[in-house]
Structure 1
Amino acid sequence: MRVALFVTCVNDAVYPSTGIAVVKLLERLGVEVDFPPGQTCCGQPQFNTGYRRETEPLVRRMGRVFEGYDHVVTPSGSCAAMVRDNYPRIARKGSDPQLQRVSDALVPRMYELTEFLVDVLGVTDVGAYFPHTVTYHPSCHGLRMLGLGERPRKLLEAVKGLELRELPGSEECCGFGGTFAMKNSDVSVAMGEDKVRNAASTGAEVLCGADNSCLMHLGGLLHRQEAPQRALHLAEILASTEKEPLG
């Protein structure tokens, strides 16, 4: 089984520890992971801002970079959803037949991390150890577009030492929404403040999510409020072990 890591722009530039955690986790489970160095952006910022034609070269590049792999795994629901939901739309509207070939080839092989663990590897207990209280925020893309459902929660519930606490209003958007946070900053901040207030009410030490774009927004709010709670990607919790606790 040939597996490639699509680390995404946010993780590559801001949260490399998440990408490292994914590799550590998958290798612990017996998966050999490749990291194609030619990978760049999937095109989500451009497409969501209305620049479909400018997204097309990035679609073609993604097709070339990840050609030949059985599975492409990413620790980002929003980027996985970009490929699976929007690449077919881009292909239908584009004039280049190569776009359709890329979409047809890549979409079935693109997996968000928790999907890959539960659906492909068939595991929920990944041998993790994380002795902390945690509350989980499901991102909009993972919740609504990918339909991740209970997969992240099942993985967290199987972590040794972890106490999972329910997040009030968990299905509400955190307010990030990519360029929405820049174009509508006041609304974005207000939504984020609601989310971190709910997270604080749980008393959990860690606010966990499966998408670092959301966690960047929420983590920034927590930092500015000097809150004791910290934001942490699910992959870093799952990669933590009793021998090498990341907590």
Structure 2
Amino acid sequence: MSKSSPVVDLFIPCFIDQIRPKIAWDTIKVLKSVGCRVRYKAKQTCCGQPAYNAGFWKEACSVAEKLIDEFDDENAYVVAPSASCIGMIRNAYTDILKSEEKLEKYYSLQKRAFELSEFLVDVLGIEQLENVCFPHRITYHDSCSALRECYISDAPRKLLQSIKGLEIVEMSGIETCCGFGGTFAVKFPAISAAMAEQKLQNASQTTTEYVVSTDFSCLMHLESYAKKNNISLNFLHIAEILANDC
């Protein structure tokens, strides 16, 4: 694959598609601004994580096989504005795939799938975007999937630190879970809410205006708790900041 004009097949998580599609459009804008040729496969659905985490591995396998067949161009990267989905694709499919044919295609996909900030920094070598401004103080939330499944920590911070007017203030307990965890929040709502409360207390102590992350699932969880409890913080996906013109 040529890095001078990379071809990117965009994978958009279910919850971004349904709840905040602006993140998808901002992801496209960012990728195009660095010279990528972006393609979107309209029949794409899910990475299979909800079924996998709930123990429905047969159903998760069907979804995974569909994704593998759709993103089968070995000359294209697969980029998602979600470390959670990328972590699922990279790490869980070997548990559920049974077909040798699908496994062979999967190993190619596994090497080509990246979270947005990781792709920009670690694959393209871009640590600064031109004509991007965000004159605000922010604190950054490390999602569990980014940290523990994809080992992403430095890439989003490098990009954010390069933006004109933006100041990052790190919160305490940066490696602590926000409490979402997909079905965890449904099965254990009291524990999930307590973890969100602690995370937002840490964020509020930074006296920043925004909480930013690579994962909208975490932000969705934290924003819901903040609204319910009148906590005055704003929540943005990193793509929404990287697409903010001066």
TM-score band by shorter chain is over 0.9
Question: How far does the alpha carbon of each residue in 1:65-86 deviate from its partner, in whole angstroms, 9 at most, with x for none?
Answer: 1121520000111100000000
1:119 to 107, 116, 122: 122
2:110 maps to 1:107: yes
Gaps of 5+ in 2: 1-5
SS at match of 1:207: strand
Supply the distance in 1 between the matched residues of 2:102 and 2:94 (Cα, whole angstroms). Answer: 8
Match of 2:207 in 1: 203
Match of 1:140 in 2: 144
Alignment TM-score, normalising by the size of structure 1: 0.94
Match of 2:86 in 1: 80
Match of 1:97 in 2: 100
- TM-superposed deviation, 1:226: 2.1
Match of 1:5 in 2: 10
Question: How far does the alpha carbon of each residue in 1:157-191 deviate from its partner, in whole angstroms, 9 at most, with x for none?
Answer: 01110011011111000000000000000000000
- TM-superposed deviation, 1:105: 2.2
1:55 partner amino acid: A
- TM-superposed deviation, 1:30: 1.3
Confirm or deny: 8 A CA contact 1:90 1:99 kept in the other structure: no
- TM-superposed deviation, 1:202: 0.5
1:85 partner amino acid: N
1:219 partner amino acid: E
- TM-superposed deviation, 1:145: 1.0
Supply the distance in 2 between the matched residues of 1:41 and 1:5 (Cα, whole angstroms). Answer: 12
Match of 1:245 in 2: none
Matches of residues 12-51 of structure 1 in structure 2 within 5 Å? 12-51=17-56
Q: Which runs of 4+ in 1 moved over 6 A?
A: none
- TM-superposed deviation, 1:220: 0.5
Confirm or deny: 8 A CA contact 1:76 1:113 kept in the other structure: yes
1:83 partner amino acid: I
Supply the distance in 2 between the matched residues of 1:186 and 1:171 (Cα, whole angstroms). Answer: 20
Alignment TM-score, normalising by the size of structure 2: 0.94
Match of 1:176 in 2: 180
Match of 1:236 in 2: 240
Supply the distance in 2 between the matched residues of 1:139 and 1:54 (Cα, whole angstroms). Answer: 26
Aligned pair count?
A: 239
